[in-house]
Structure 1
Amino acid sequence: MKERDIEALLRDGVKQLGGKAYKWVSPGNAGVPDRIVILPGGKVIFVELKQENGQLTRLQKIQQDTLRAMGAAAVTLYGADEVRMYLEELKEMLERGAKAARISELLH
């Protein structure tokens, strides 16, 4: 599967979860992740997408390390299967968050 197809899979999956997966292009900042994912509740994740056999470049590693050092979530997903698994993890996280919010409302 081509990287653009993997990006479409992520974009469409995040949309189904009620979020956005913006394409990130940052002139003068080579190596930034492919997508900025914003989920309901304000969770922001920087996502680099690769084909199954792809590898991060040195600049991509530096950019991710920089983002993480500032407290941001930055992940690399390899291939369609990893994207699908990650989307399932995000779905479960959102469901847990919604349940916790409902319980919190009941307690207050």
Structure 2
Amino acid sequence: MLEKQIEHKLLTETRKKSGLCLKFVSPGLNGVPDRLILLPGGRMGFVEVKKPGKSPGALQLQRHKQIRSLGFQVFVLDDPGDIGGILNAIQGS
């Protein structure tokens, strides 16, 4: 399965929960997660989408740590079977 396919499934499942799955791009700041998930009730989280079996690079891991230190949730998604759990975690379920 390609990263793009996993990303599309994340988008679809987020919409089913009446949320937004925004492509996150931050010019001038490399290594930020791919997607910003916004769910009803003011819930949000960041998702780094990877091809199955692939891991984030060193700079990405550094950014994840930085974002988490600010109190935000960051997830790495390389298995579409994990999408429900990630969305539930963001939702606080």
After TM superposition, the score normalised by the length of structure 2 is 0.89
1:27-58 CA-partner distances (Å, limit 9, x unpaired) = 11111001000000001100001122111101
Identical positions, percent: 32
Q: Is the 8 A contact 1:14 1:20 kept in 2?
A: yes
Q: Is the 8 A contact 1:17 1:91 kept in 2?
A: no
**Structure 1 residue runs without a partner (length 5+):** 94-108
Q: Name which structure has the greater RCO, CA cutoff 8 Å, separation 6+.
A: 2
Residues paired across the two proteins, number: 93
Is residue 49 from structure 1 mapped to residue 52 from structure 2 by the alignment? no
Q: Is the 8 A contact 1:7 1:49 kept in 2?
A: yes
Secondary structure at the aligned position of 2:22 is classed as: strand
Q: Structure 1's 92 and 59: CA in aligned 2 closer, same or farther, altered over 3 A?
A: closer
Q: Is the 8 A contact 1:31 1:63 kept in 2?
A: yes
Deviation at 1:7, TM superposition (A): 0.5
Aligned counterpart, 2:15: 15
Q: Structure 1's 43 and 76: CA in aligned 2 closer, same or farther, altered over 3 A?
A: same
Is residue 33 from structure 1 mapped to residue 18 from structure 2 by the alignment? no
Q: Is the 8 A contact 2:77 2:83 kept in 1?
A: yes
Aligned counterpart, 2:78: 78
**Structure 2 residue runs without a partner (length 5+):** none
Aligned counterpart, 2:68: 68
Aligned counterpart, 2:6: 6
Q: In structure 2, what is the Cα distance between the partners aligned to 1:80 and 1:43?
A: 21
Q: Is the 8 A contact 1:6 1:80 kept in 2?
A: yes
Greater fraction of residues in helix: 1
Root mean square deviation of aligned Cα: 1.8
